A and B are shown apart, each in its own frame.
Chain A
Amino acid sequence: MNEIIESVKNLSIGFNSQKGKQISILRNVSTNIKKGETVGIVGESGSGKSTLALAMMGYIKQGLFPLKGECLFKSEDLLKMSSRQLEKIRGRKIAMIPQNAGQALTPNLKIGYQIDEALKLHTDLNKTERDKKISELLNKVRLPSPETMAFRYPHELSGGQQQRVAVAMALAGKPDLLLLDEPTTGLDVTTQAHVLELLRFIAKDTGTSMIYVSHDLGAIAQVSDRIVVMYAGEIVLEGPARKILKEPIHPYTYGLLKSIPKLSLAGLPASMPGSQPQPGSINEGCSFYDRCNLANDNCKKNSPDLEHIKELDTNVRCFNYKELINQNNNLQTSITKKSNNSEANEVLKLKDVSISYAKQKFFDQLLNKISDQNPTVKDINIDIKKGETIALVGESGSGKSTILKSIAGLLKTKDGQIKFEKDRILSSDLKKRNPNDLRAIQLIFQNPDESLNPNHTVEQILSQPLKLYFNLSGDELKKNIIDLLKKVRLGEFYMSRYPRQLSGGEKQRVAVARAFAAKPDIILCDEVTSALDVSVQAAVLNLLQQLKEDLGTTYVFVSHDLAVVRAISDRVAVLYQGRLCEIGPSQNVYKFPSHPYTEVLLGAVLEPDPDIKPKLVAEDIVEEKPPEKGCSFQGRCPRKIGDICNSEVPPWQIGENGNAIRCHINIDELASLQQ
């Protein structure tokens, strides 16, 4: 069991900058992978984790080259091999599972054929043996009806199923080492939990070693035996998974764990200041010096070495790790947020809102109506009070972003009304809304790379709403922009920067500043933190909360991440297939009894704790269309009681602690079932 199959020794990988300087992305990385072991490599974007993982299969991205060190696979250096030699190892000895299987599978070949190709290449089986092997593999990755599955095209499968096919292909060559680069990142929460469970099973079943690369400590915690934490191209902490996650003795890991929102905790996670340094910008001292609260003068001048601590079986790169050894019991803390006054006025009311994407027929176009019996979003009734944060939660396809768009006026509603400030009905046509209503509702998007014009400076970006709504110009405009930047904790010198010169967190701050420039009453946040790194996410959440407390803004917060929602929201609405399932104060939605769908979602959340396993209560089927009659969740419900679920829309029931659940099962019965 202790046989080492791959070992990386003092590996540095870098590139030449435009000015001819040599810049390293990986610095002096050494680690060993033992047989049958799953190693999680965790780090934020730009930490070098993918570069390390790819180097472990002898692959180095174009433009990069190894500066020193070696990657020994069964005592042969992969980095010195010719491409012929590597061909024999890749796929057969080391296989890789990519992040986005949908893009990694050839779209116009049947999946059986694609697996067959892998088998032909890596095994000596004949045709009939291979056919048998294909269904065996598809069975192993738990795809339904393997025989017919082989004759389907990748686009006919859901994201989770595609990822399973990718796993089957990787297993075709019976590899000794499996490399997984963020294999579950693009998947829905329930699907992610299922895929991780499968991977864990395969690791145990086949005895394959795995390298699991991810930014998500929750996913890492579920699969890894050992964890390697990367920061700025260095290993900062390495050790057994449980030790790393429960008693992290490196300040970065400690901060990272604290900045993850947890289901069990109300309130916002603590955030780390700053962001990861760019490669090449560290000349001396510890790379974490700027963000570390244990740092002293020694850390500024000397960079610490990776030190092995025998009693903990851990390697750590820090001078002051001892200070952290006894501190770890307070990992479970959070910043409490002020809750708003629930007696406040209603600011936005969605009344019987339905939205349809169906194409209008010619007659309907003439009559200007939409006739769709089964619209994407149906019967949404939500009252939003001034100053509260209401979250819309659901998996992809749940209609949460659709609702947000129609509040913003970007999508026409089919039926129902959106009322703003008491009883003023907002037109569902953007052009018919008056400028003041437009100003009052602002949007923040998921990906700041797309929501900021790449050819505008920060000054130009922020001046757009100020010019449009307040007709500012000259010095006054400039003063307002500086004020806005201060509000989101950015300095004045950011004004002349372009988005590409900012880090992800800084970009999102600029996007937040642009939304606040309009002095809005309501801000619609569309997955605003899901493109950000964990430590940055916590900072942005804290910023949003702070701004809300200062300015009394109302947030409508859309997210798929239940833990993030738990941290920021006052009230939560759970959506499935465009229908409301449950709505209530967030502390109650996260308690039982809850709607079966909420239960499924909560069960699938991955906590960064190896002792909390996800509870998988429902299949991860993807439904393309809401059912025409009955309960929206009938297709996947683990607690379905019978025909009534298929034929009748369930009634609203209000639990004793104020959350409303839409289910045919009596709420008290539901509570006892879920205990």
Chain B
Amino acid sequence: MENNLITEDKQKNKLEKAFEILKTMASKPSGLIGLTIVLFHVVLALISPYIVPYDYKAISPNTMLLAPSAEHWFGTDSLGRDVFTRTILGGRTALTVTFFGSLIALLWGGLLGIFCGLVGGKIDDVVMRVVDAFLSIPWILAMLLIVSLLGTSTEVLIPALGFFYGKGIVRVARAATHDVIAKDFIVSARARGHSNMSIIWNEIIPNVRDAILVEGAMRWSWMLLGFSSLSFLGFGVSPPTPDWGLMISNARGLMSFAYWSVIAPIVGLSSLIIGINLTADAFAKALGIDRSTKAPV
């Protein structure tokens, strides 16, 4: 009696629906702020190579550790490189790696979770125990192992991060599927004799898609933090590529007297993470998924 009271006669196509969701997300201050931050970072990542004032790898002993000034807005670092230049470039690798990493995590985690939720029984038991076993391994140790064996190129980082962050999605997708498969429309499809693939594709995915997407958005921000941690430890991107984690790592020893070279990348990283979190929450609300009642496992 509450929501479907006024039925909309007008049918909307997919594009209009996506626009509608964006509009709902932006209608609350937190959602608007989140969207703005994310949009700002994405645009910055796209255009930053063309707008930077200095070369990011130009080392100069004359400009070592200068405080912020009109010439160097955020000051310079211990090698005399411009911190502003490096900060606005520093999100590019992180964003690319984690975006594709999240996509991979969503795909394998989501599909495996849905499959396990649908078939149940022994297959489900075995797969879930394996996932549990992986969940119990500290991811950072495992990542370090992979990176030291295979190197730190993006071709290694993307699938590796995708794998480790997909484990949690398996559980969420499985739980969401369990909610759906108890419904009669799945029983009905089964009784008609549809194959498992057809049931997953036609009946389950449209109903769990939203929950998994929201979970993916949340994982994205976690993965960003994870990727920066790797860089911080020296296992992410290699110098002299500008990267927030790496910059924080390099400048942290000088924090007491050259705070500017560490504050700028911290602001960059945390604002993006906060932005993604706010966006994911607004996204969940706009889709009608309450994260407080359906907490991820």
Q: Do A and B bind each other?
A: yes
Q: Which residues of A contact B5 (CB under 8 A)?
A: 17, 23, 278-280
Q: How many whole Å from B88's CB to the nearest CB in chain A?
A: 41
Is A58 on the interface with B (CB-CB < 8 A)? no
Q: Check A455/B206 contact, CB under 8 A, given A278-B5, A501-B8.
A: yes
Is B4 on the interface with A (CB-CB < 8 A)? yes
Stretch at the interface among B66-74, B152-160, B183-191: B183-191
Is B124 on the interface with A (CB-CB < 8 A)? no
Q: Are A453 and B193 in contact (CB under 8 A)?
A: no
Q: Are A500 and B192 in contact (CB under 8 A)?
A: no
Q: Check A447/B191 contact, CB under 8 A, given A278-B5, A453-B207, A501-B4.
A: no
Closest to A446 in B: B184
Contact residues, B158-196 vs A (CB, 8 A)? 183-185, 187-194
- In angstroms, Cα B191 to Cα A456, docked, is 18
Q: Check A438/B191 contact, CB under 8 A, given A445-B184, A450-B183, A453-B203.
A: yes
Q: Which residues of A contact B191 (CB under 8 A)?
A: 408-410, 430, 438, 441-443
Q: A441-467 interface mask toward B, CB cutoff 8 Å, 1 = contact, 0 = none?
A: 111011100111111100010001100
Q: Are A450 and B184 in contact (CB under 8 A)?
A: yes
- In angstroms, Cα B240 to Cα A431, docked, is 60
- In angstroms, Cα B189 to Cα A514, docked, is 11
Q: A486-501 interface mask toward B, CB cutoff 8 Å, 1 = contact, 0 = none?
A: 0000000000110011
Cβ-neighbour of B194 out of A45, A63, A433, A464 (below 8 A): A464
Q: B139-156 interface mask toward A, CB cutoff 8 Å, 1 = contact, 0 = none?
A: 000000000000000000
Is B43 on the interface with A (CB-CB < 8 A)? no
- In angstroms, Cα B181 to Cα A419, docked, is 29
Q: Are B6 and A280 in contact (CB under 8 A)?
A: yes
Q: Are B185 and A451 in contact (CB under 8 A)?
A: yes
Q: Check A18/B6 contact, CB under 8 A, given A447-B184, A450-B185, A452-B185.
A: yes
Is B136 on the interface with A (CB-CB < 8 A)? no
Q: Which residues of A contact B190 (CB under 8 A)?
A: 410, 430
Q: Are A278 and B193 in contact (CB under 8 A)?
A: no
Is A658 on the interface with B (CB-CB < 8 A)? no
Q: Which residues of B contact A441 (CB under 8 A)?
A: 191
Q: Which residues of B contact A497 (CB under 8 A)?
A: 11
Give the interface size class of chain B: 20 to 34
Closest to A500 in B: B4
Closest to B183 in A: A450
Is A435 on the interface with B (CB-CB < 8 A)? yes
Q: B1-21 interface mask toward A, CB cutoff 8 Å, 1 = contact, 0 = none?
A: 111111111010000000000
Is A468 on the interface with B (CB-CB < 8 A)? yes
Q: How many whole Å from A249's CB to the nearest CB in chain B?
A: 29
Q: How many whole Å from B182's CB to the nearest CB in chain A?
A: 9
Contact residues, B1-46 vs A (CB, 8 A)? 1-9, 11
Q: Which residues of B contact A501 (CB under 8 A)?
A: 4, 7-9
Q: Are A453 and B185 in contact (CB under 8 A)?
A: yes
- In angstroms, Cα B193 to Cα A442, docked, is 10
Q: Which residues of B contact A450 (CB under 8 A)?
A: 183-185
Is B202 on the interface with A (CB-CB < 8 A)? yes
- Count residues of A near B (Cβ-Cβ below 8 Å): 41
Closest to B204 in A: A453
Q: B195-222 interface mask toward A, CB cutoff 8 Å, 1 = contact, 0 = none?
A: 0001000110011000000000000000
Q: Which residues of B contact A456 (CB under 8 A)?
A: 202, 206
Q: How many whole Å from A356's CB to the nearest CB in chain B?
A: 18
Q: Which residues of A contact B202 (CB under 8 A)?
A: 453, 456, 460, 464
Q: Are A442 and B192 in contact (CB under 8 A)?
A: yes
Q: Which residues of A contact B6 (CB under 8 A)?
A: 17-18, 23, 278, 280
Closest to B203 in A: A453
- In angstroms, Cα B113 to Cα A157, docked, is 38
Q: Are B187 and A468 in contact (CB under 8 A)?
A: no
Is A46 on the interface with B (CB-CB < 8 A)? yes
Contact residues, A538-585 vs B (CB, 8 A)? none
Q: A34-62 interface mask toward B, CB cutoff 8 Å, 1 = contact, 0 = none?
A: 00000000000110000000000000000
Best-surrounded residue of B4, B198, B207 (most CB of chain A within 10 A): B4
- In angstroms, Cα B8 to Cα A453, docked, is 18
Best-surrounded residue of B3, B185, B202 (most CB of chain A within 10 A): B185
Q: Which residues of B contact A439 (CB under 8 A)?
A: 192-193
- In angstroms, Cα B133 to Cα A672, docked, is 71
Is A95 on the interface with B (CB-CB < 8 A)? no
Closest to A501 in B: B7
- In angstroms, Cα B6 to Cα A280, docked, is 9
- In angstroms, Cα B194 to Cα A468, docked, is 7
Closest to B209 in A: A455
Which residues does A use to contact B, with CB under 8 Å?
A: 17-18, 23, 45-46, 63, 278-280, 408-410, 430, 433, 435, 438-439, 441-443, 445-447, 450-456, 460, 464-465, 468-469, 496-497, 500-501, 514, 518
A sample of 13 inter-chain contacts (CB < 8 A) reads A17-B5, A409-B191, A430-B193, A445-B184, A450-B184, A451-B184, A451-B187, A451-B188, A452-B185, A454-B207, A460-B202, A468-B192, A497-B11
Contacts A23-B5, A280-B6 supplied; 19 other A-B pairs, CB < 8 Å? A17-B5, A17-B6, A23-B6, A45-B1, A280-B5, A430-B191, A439-B192, A441-B191, A442-B192, A443-B187, A443-B188, A443-B191, A445-B188, A451-B183, A453-B207, A455-B206, A464-B189, A464-B194, A501-B7
Which residues does B use to contact A, with CB under 8 Å?
A: 1-9, 11, 183-185, 187-194, 198, 202-203, 206-207
Top 6 A-B pairs, shortest CB-CB distance = A455-B206, A438-B193, A451-B184, A445-B184, A501-B7, A450-B184
